[in-house]
């Protein structure tokens, strides 16, 4: 999330939702910040098929930036907005256990989610606090892994039996016709979206997001939405109105 004003607006919405009784869980990544710090250390950020190539040094930087900087800054924003946040990463209370992706030779320490233990989130939510989770996890032996934030969010949603999974992106959602911004697909089911992917109507960076949503829905999450984070109050629009602010995929 690039602009501070937008970040602030999303945080305010999150705190509002928490105040009215919803129990939101925020999962975050932080690509731009990671890139910026890697460059400061003279290390060029590298990507392979859209995923960050994470060697040992990059992993250290990812962990420091996501857990130490981005996470705490979000926690601080939530606290300032009137909520109370608790910042965690996948390692805390073994919330997420990672394993290397099949592509580990090319990607290094990029992790898949092997196991989720949502136990720690229940007391936090029960006390009315908002958990903020950085998508860094460890494997059985304590080796750190960089996990994709959308994937982490999807699996945590599945583990908690969440009502909704919401992916905040910087596009309007899924378009029926890529060249027509008015052709936003508002609601679609799993077979419909799989058909769209086969018909190549969904492309590029949207495919992993769609797969993440389907995986989550298949495990019992009621709905998964991909919404436009650039629209002010998109979170409120999606959760509290019928029109929503992006594309909702139903199970």
Partner 1 sequence: MGIRGVTVSDVRGFGAQGGSTERHGGSEFSEDKFIAKVKMEIVVCKDQVEAVVEKIIEEARTGEIGDGKIFLIPVSDVIRVRTGERGEKAERMSGGRADMMSLTASID
Q: Give the shortest CB-117-to-partner 1 separation in angstroms.
A: 8
Q: Does 70 bind partner 1 (CB under 8 A)?
A: no
Residue 190 binding partner 1, by CB under 8 A: yes
Tell me if 194 contacts partner 1 by CB under 8 A. yes
The nearest distance, CB 156 to partner 1, in angstroms, is 6
Q: Using an 8 Å Cβ cutoff, are 44 and 173 in contact? A: no
For tokens 């019928």, the residue is 242
Strands 130-134 and 85-89: parallel
Among 7, 143, 219, 250, indicate the residue that binds partner 1 (CB under 8 A).
219
- Nearest to 61, CA basis, from 37, 39, 44: 37
In angstroms, the CA 213 to CA 194 distance is 11
Binding mask 35-54 for partner 1 (x = CB under 8 A): --------------------
Asked if residue 120 binds partner 1 (CB under 8 A), the reply is no
Phi, psi of 244 (to 5 degrees): 70, -170
CA nearest to 228, candidates 35, 4, 5, 6:
6
- For the CB of residue 122, give the shortest distance to partner 1 in the complex, in Å: 14
**Residue 149 interacting with partner 1 (CB under 8 A):** no
Shortest distance, position 161 Cβ to partner 1, whole Å: 8
Between CA 192 and CA 223 the distance in angstroms is 14
* Position 114 contacts partner 1 (CB under 8 A): yes
200 binding partner 1? (CB under 8 A):
no
Instruction: Tell me which DSSP letter residue 246 carries.
Output: E
Q: Does 131 bind partner 1 (CB under 8 A)?
A: no
Q: Which two tokens stand for residue 40?
A: 């400061």
- Phi, psi (5° rounding) for residue 108? 75, -130
Of residues 175, 215, 229, 246, which one binds partner 1 by CB under 8 A? 215
Q: Which residues bind partner 1 (CB under 8 A)?
A: 99, 113-116, 118, 155-161, 190-191, 194, 214-215, 217-220, 251
């Amino acid at each position: 999330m690039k602009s501070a004003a937008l970040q602030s607006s999303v945080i305010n919405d999150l705190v509002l939702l928490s105040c009215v009784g919803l129990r939101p869980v925020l999962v975050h990544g932080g690509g731009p910040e990671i890139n910026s710090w890697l460059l400061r250390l003279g290390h060029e950020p590298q990507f392979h098929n859209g995923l960050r190539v994470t060697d040992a040094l990059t992993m250290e930087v990812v962990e420091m930036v996501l857990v130490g900087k981005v996470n705490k800054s979000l926690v601080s924003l939530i606290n300032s907005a009137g909520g109370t946040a608790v910042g965690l990463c996948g390692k805390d209370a073994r919330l997420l256990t990672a394993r290397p992706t099949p592509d580990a030779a090319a990607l290094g320490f990029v992790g898949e989610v092997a196991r989720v233990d949502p136990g720690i989130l229940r007391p936090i939510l029960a006390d009315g606090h908002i958990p903020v989770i950085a998508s860094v996890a460890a494997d059985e032996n304590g080796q750190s892994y960089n996990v994709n934030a959308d994937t982490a969010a999807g699996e945590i949603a599945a583990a908690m039996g969440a009502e909704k999974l919401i992916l905040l992106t910087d596009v309007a959602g899924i378009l029926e016709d890529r060249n027509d911004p008015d052709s936003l697909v508002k609601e679609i089911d799993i077979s419909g979206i799989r058909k769209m992917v086969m018909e190549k109507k969904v492309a590029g960076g949207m495919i992993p997001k769609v797969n993440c949503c389907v995986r989550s829905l298949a495990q019992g999450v009621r709905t998964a939405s991909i919404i436009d984070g650039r629209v002010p109050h998109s979170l409120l629009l999606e959760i509290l109105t019928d029109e929503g602010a992006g594309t909702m995929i139903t199970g």
